[in-house]
Amino acid sequence: MTRIGILGGGSWGTALALQLNANSHPVDIWLRDHKQVEEITETRENKKYLPGVSIPEEIGISYDIEEVIYEKDIIVLAVPTHTIRQNLIDYKRLIHKDQILLNVAKGIENDTLYRVSQIVKDILPENPYAILSGPSHAEEVAKSMPTTVVAASESKKIAEYIQDIFMGPYFRVYTNPDVVGVELGGALKNVIALGAGISDGLGYGDNTKAAIMTRGIIEIARLGEAMGANRSTFSGLAGIGDLIVTCTSMHSRNRRAGILIGEGEALDKVTEKIGMVVEGIKTTKSAYELSIKYNVNMPITKEIYQVLYEGKDVKNSVYNLMLRDKKHEMEDI
């Protein structure tokens, strides 16, 4: 048995705890909100983030961070990307250098433009690191619907260790050594999902969404390659797989946020209505700045950035994308 502490009791952290519990691993979840801890402990249901799903008694629920981290083999980072740095700074004194830090968040830090592996290396450079990513809605994983994801680490041994711990009849895990590509695929697909949602909100159809997704993965791969990723990663689960599920499902908070934006909703009202962190909103800013830093052409990302941060009219953005200079589809080749 492997002992796991999960920092963050949102829908994904809870779903992963259920999967680990099904595999007979002792697991504790840390939540900052005392009231939420008491509610889940009493009802054995995360009504705020994963309603209707029963949480077994064996899964520990606590607001005591020391209790959740102490003597664990793996610490799962299931908090929003923009909070990871501060959480690690606040609790690094509790984390032993042999504990594996497993990131399941999908974003890029705004101020530094760092991926989560770079944030971890900044604060806890000696700890082993891995990321779990791919097309995996928490709502479906929690109901044991067949799901496939990828575990990435610079260490083959660590990636295979994560694979062994999470693998189950309904949860298949592949391994990949390309940490950069897996992190970028997971983060940047949220930006494109906002675009797909905006398209839906404007009343456009399947043709438009297919174009956004297809050209979107080209942008993701283009930036990924410039940052040292393996281009083939973006043809896999952490790339096109995650993009498909996030752009097409109403489970996707990024797509739902995009729909509201396309319908004309103000950005502050959008996040209020979704009720959960929409990683793509912050990631759009980071992605746009990375495209400038690495001199990479990312027209869809640029238009979404201008809609979110410069108040550009979404219909003008569509018009600009359609009437750009003519291109060869295989221009990168």
For the annotated catalytic residues, the residue numbers are 189
261 touches 204 (CB < 8 A): no
Residue with tokens 């791919």: 134
79 touches 65 (CB < 8 A): no
Tokens of 23: 């595999």
CA 109 to chain CA centroid, Å, is 12
Distance of CA 150 to CAs 6, 106, 140, 181, Å? 18, 13, 17, 11
E strand or H helix that includes residue 20: helix 11-22
d(CA 148, CA 261): 30
Q: Are strands 45-46 and 147-152 parallel, antiparallel or unpaired?
A: unpaired
Residue with tokens 């062994």: 164
d(CA 243, CA 187): 10
